[in-house]
Structure 1
Amino acid sequence: MKAQRDLTTGPIGSTLIAFALPTLGSNILQSLNGSINAIWIGRFLGERALAAASNANIIMFLMFGGVFGFGMAATILIGQAWGRRDVENARRAFGSAIGLVLAASLVFAVLGWACSHAILVALATPPAALPLADAYLRVIFLGLPAAMVLVLLMMGLRGTGDSMTPLWFMILAVVIDTGLNPLLIRGIGPFPQMGIAGSATATLIANAVSVLALTGWIMWRDLPLRLKGGEIAYLRPQGALVRTIVGKGLPIGAQMLVISAAGLAMVGLVNREGVETTAAYGVVLQLWAYIQMPALAIGAAVSAMAAQNIGAGKWDRVARITRAGILYNIVMTGVLIVAILWFDRTTLGLFLPAASPAVPIAQHIGLIASWSFLLFGVTMVLFGTVRANGAVWGPLIVLFVAMFPVRLGFALAIRPLLGADALWWSFPLGSAVTTLGAWLYYRYGPWRRQRPLMPGAARPPRMEAAAEAPAP
């Protein structure tokens, strides 16, 4: 499989799946990494530590969303520029994004480290898990800059059609992280015994090594986004690019924050059901991470393909890319849902002892809510397409309405009647509303009339006709 792909030519289906598979592999490895780390924590340190890591990881996702939008906006800029064969502007966008993301992640790391205890208290983290969660979260915050730059490097490469290089360096990060986890948790050999903080330290080291190695590889192999000589100045964000990246990145980041805030609110409700339910929910989240992997991979591939084709003015391919993405998502996500539910006791047994009271709770949660990820996959494709042309406010509004008035509103209103089941049934309801809103925006929204994102770029061919054409 070639690393670099031209996403503006050739058959839609095979090009999409060939580009998405390495991204899916990266997602599998990332989720597998988190699951293996959760196994180490659960087996070595117990349910309280597992509940603590679950709370801390959701907070980390919230902080990650604060700077992720910049990277996504840069990826769209890179994709559109690459579709026009405008290598210079692709590098300018990449450099500005690196500078912005590095600065923002440093700020978040400092603030997060200082406020981790207060954040966990506000989240209603169970008192028994609070000290462990605080120790874990502080180290995770210290590793945020390396983690964010690594993600941005991988996103930028995918914007140029290269999904293989990120896969290799994700493998490197996972090998280091999973290998160091038990050594630093238990203090095996010359390594210090750090408990739950050792798991976070392993992640920090893995990300730092991988970002340095990937940077060196990009320079050594002279990959398209390498910056050398006078191009190093591109790392100092340029005014026009900063306005574009921030203008598009903040709403994209806000989408992540909406999802994260809704997740935090849900965790707060789950925590009130007791440690067993919190641990069960944390394990189910681990399994859901696998179920949503095809949606995330194919959604990212659709966004990259659509951005390049929009940049090239090939609007006739965009609708076909979207339809292919939806079909692949339904098939792949459906297979995973059936497999995980069929073997749920086996998979849950990896995280919890067979006799744990959390096991039947986790099985119950999975049966009620796991199927909603079919709808999630459709939403990711539709949002990926419209976002490829810089349309970010429509998806943000749809997500906000679905997450808060609908999902959390339902959970709070029905909880007196259904108890904890109201929390689990709120997931398919929220997903259905999100998918409906995404389809309405894709079908009738004004996203096709967006102007080119790159400052100074020419309007792509046939843009005027595409803006007036009916939605496919």
Structure 2
Amino acid sequence: MTSSPSRTSAPARSGKRDLTSGPIAGTLLAFALPTLGSNVLQSLNGSINAIWVGRFLGEDALAATSNANIIMFLLFGAVFGFGMAATILVGQSFGRRDADGARRAFGSAIGLVLVASIVVGALGWIFAPEILRMLATPPAAFDLALAYLRVIFVGLPGQMLLVLMFMGLRGTGDSLTPLWFMGLSVVLDAALNPVLILGLGPAPRMGIAGSAAATLLSGVVAVIALAAYIHHRDLPLRLKGAERRYILPEAKLTRVIVAKGLPIGAQMLVISVAGLAMVGLVNRLGVQTTAGYGVTLQLWAYVQMPALAIGAAVSAMAAQNIGAGRWDRVGRITRAGLLFNLGLTGAAVAIMLLLDRPLLGIFVGGESPAVPIAQHINRLATWGFVMFGATMVLFGVVRANGAVWGPLVILFVSMFPIRLGLAVGLQPWLGQDALWWSFPIGSAANLIGAALYYRYGPWRGSGAALPSRGECEQRANSVAEPTGTLRPAT
């Protein structure tokens, strides 16, 4: 008979909270707010960089960063799924009070993500010119985009490890530590941008590559500082002594992380490819429209922050409660998440619609011809983020119990046959507006699919639940194929 794994409650540490007990709404909000703060800081970082680039280097450079950033999101998705899989493994392990199992999952994810991000970064550096040509990047922005993108590729491993560490900490119930170290990264990046762009003091004048170099350096410093903090404070996911070997991925955990991480990564890739296709369509409308769309994306980064924070909090809570067998709380977590999304995302949408011109003018100046274009895009499409947020909540819950293929299929259909199909197919009647209307229509289709899958799909079945380490070992020693597993949310 296989012995059961040791299950020890990790001692309370900075920011860690038990997500399996207490009032659901209050616990969810207390967990989500630091995550929202981290997301706002991350978007603020991108916005500050855009301001430096737009004001110091002009609209061509801003268009270049818009093209480069959507490519980075594509490459980020190629390795992000592994981190999502590990997050749910960590959350379910902590729900079962299996701290060692959480560390094993976290260590395996570090090894996988580090290797994958190095490979993806190297390939990205090599093929960056071909990627930009495929996007029909405007000639005026091509060289700038290439210089910016190649430096960003170098920093990909550090950025991916930082995000993975944040995700792992949230899986343990700690959303405060990621907030502090995201703040450190943002402060460093914002301070280094003008120094490296303009060559202030002893620093070299790097132009647009300086903005990317600032991001690279701030990410490396934040990763090293966070790793030292986790070790010094003895946080639940610290790897000490013999535990450091967990970074060499175990075969069983690797199969679980890859099996669930690849579909999660595929969802990110679907979003990214759809975004790249949209950028290609927008680029054909000229530099001004590309700049206007890029500025709108900066605002959208903020509008979606409450939805992403609530989705992440719902996923972490659902994973821990599923791991603890508290299914009675999962439905209530979903309802609370939907209500919080309606209030917080709805408020963000209202602010962006009421104050769009002054907010858009921050990036390129109020007199820029890109501002009216961005205003028009904003008014037609931004309201759809309320539906996007509801979808994040529903997908977050079902992924927490291992359901990854249903959300992938739903997302693919809403992005390609519907969103991009309408963007292209309606242009003879609506002109450029077909592109902007395709966003809320695609979001509506995504929400309908997510709601139907949540209500009628098989995601609640026991086959989707993550087995304990002991159960995994027992199944591996039998003739049966292991079937249990996990899953996360964005």
One fold, TM greater than 0.5? Answer: yes
Deviations for 1:382-406, whole angstroms, at most 9, x for unmatched residues?
0000000011000000000000000
Q: Is contact 1:452-1:458 (8 Å) kept?
A: no
Deviations for 1:109-146, whole angstroms, at most 9, x for unmatched residues?
10001111110001110011000000000000000000
Deviations for 1:408-467, whole angstroms, at most 9, x for unmatched residues?
0011110121111000000011000000000000000000113432464559xxxxxxxx
Q: Is contact 1:66-1:254 (8 Å) kept?
A: yes
Alignment partner of 2:364: what SS? coil
Alignment partner of 1:355: what SS? coil
Q: Is contact 2:86-2:168 (8 Å) kept?
A: yes
Aligned to 2:481: none
Tell me the distance in 2 between the aligned counterparts of 1:386 and 1:346.
Answer: 39
Q: 1:321 aligns with which of 320, 333, 337?
A: 333
Tell me the distance in 2 between the aligned counterparts of 1:415 and 1:186.
Answer: 42
Runs of 4+ in 1 over 2 A off after TM superposition: 450-459
Aligned to 2:258: 246
Matched, 1:452 2:453: no
Tell me the distance in 2 between the aligned counterparts of 1:329 and 1:242.
Answer: 34
Q: Is contact 2:93-2:468 (8 Å) kept?
A: no
Deviations for 1:39-65, whole angstroms, at most 9, x for unmatched residues?
000000000000000000000000000
Aligned to 2:281: 269
Tell me the distance in 2 between the aligned counterparts of 1:291 and 1:245.
Answer: 31
Give the letter aligned to residue 108 of structure 1. V
Q: 1:194 aligns with which of 201, 206, 216?
A: 206
1:300-315 paired onto structure 2 within 5 Å = 300-315=312-327
Aligned to 2:222: 210
Give the letter aligned to residue 452 of structure 1. A
Matched, 1:362 2:397: no
Q: Is contact 1:139-1:201 (8 Å) kept?
A: yes
Instruction: Please report how far the alpha carbon of residue 352 of structure 1 lies from its aligned counterpart in structure 2 after TM superposition.
Output: 1.3
Aligned to 1:116: 128
Aligned to 2:484: none
Give the letter aligned to residue 83 of structure 1. G
Tell me the distance in 1 between the aligned counterparts of 2:243 and 2:348.
Answer: 44
Tell me the distance in 2 between the aligned counterparts of 1:458 and 1:302.
Answer: 26
Q: Is contact 1:29-1:171 (8 Å) kept?
A: yes
Q: Is contact 1:258-1:399 (8 Å) kept?
A: yes
Q: 1:2 to 1:221 in 2, by over 3 A?
A: closer
Q: 2:438 aligns with which of 426, 430, 439?
A: 426
Aligned to 1:334: 346
Q: Is contact 2:358-2:366 (8 Å) kept?
A: no
1:58-207 paired onto structure 2 within 5 Å = 58-207=70-219
Tell me the distance in 1 between the aligned counterparts of 2:431 and 2:171.
Answer: 45
Matched, 1:37 2:54: no
Aligned to 1:224: 236
Matched, 1:384 2:396: yes
Unaligned runs of 5+ residues in structure 1 are 460-472
Tell me the distance in 1 between the aligned counterparts of 2:464 and 2:54.
Answer: 50
Q: Is contact 1:181-1:199 (8 Å) kept?
A: yes
Deviations for 1:324-346, whole angstroms, at most 9, x for unmatched residues?
00000010011111111111111
What is the total number of aligned residue pairs between the two structures?
459
Q: 1:352 aligns with which of 361, 364, 380?
A: 364
Matched, 1:284 2:296: yes
Q: Is contact 2:90-2:105 (8 Å) kept?
A: yes
Matched, 1:413 2:425: yes
Give the letter aligned to residue 245 of structure 2. A
Q: Is contact 2:263-2:404 (8 Å) kept?
A: yes
Give the letter aligned to residue 442 of structure 1. Y
- TM-score, normalised to structure 1's length? 0.96
Instruction: Please report how far the alpha carbon of residue 180 of structure 1 lies from its aligned counterpart in structure 2 after TM superposition.
Output: 0.1
Alignment partner of 2:362: what SS? coil
Alignment partner of 1:381: what SS? helix
Q: 1:366 to 1:451 in 2, by over 3 A?
A: closer
Tell me the distance in 2 between the aligned counterparts of 1:250 and 1:448.
Answer: 21
Tell me the distance in 1 between the aligned counterparts of 2:296 and 2:189.
Answer: 22
Alignment partner of 1:349: what SS? helix
Q: Is contact 1:81-1:454 (8 Å) kept?
A: no
Tell me the distance in 1 between the aligned counterparts of 2:84 and 2:57.
Answer: 36
Tell me the distance in 1 between the aligned counterparts of 2:465 and 2:349.
Answer: 39
Tell me the distance in 2 between the aligned counterparts of 1:241 and 1:283.
Answer: 41
Give the letter aligned to residue 346 of structure 1. P
Alignment partner of 1:215: what SS? helix
Tell me the distance in 2 between the aligned counterparts of 1:396 and 1:333.
Answer: 23
Aligned to 2:487: none
Tell me the distance in 1 between the aligned counterparts of 2:444 and 2:37.
Answer: 27
Q: Is contact 1:241-1:455 (8 Å) kept?
A: no
Deviations for 1:341-379, whole angstroms, at most 9, x for unmatched residues?
111111011011222111111000000000000000000
Instruction: Give RMSD over aligned pairs.
Output: 1.1
Give the letter aligned to residue 244 of structure 1. V
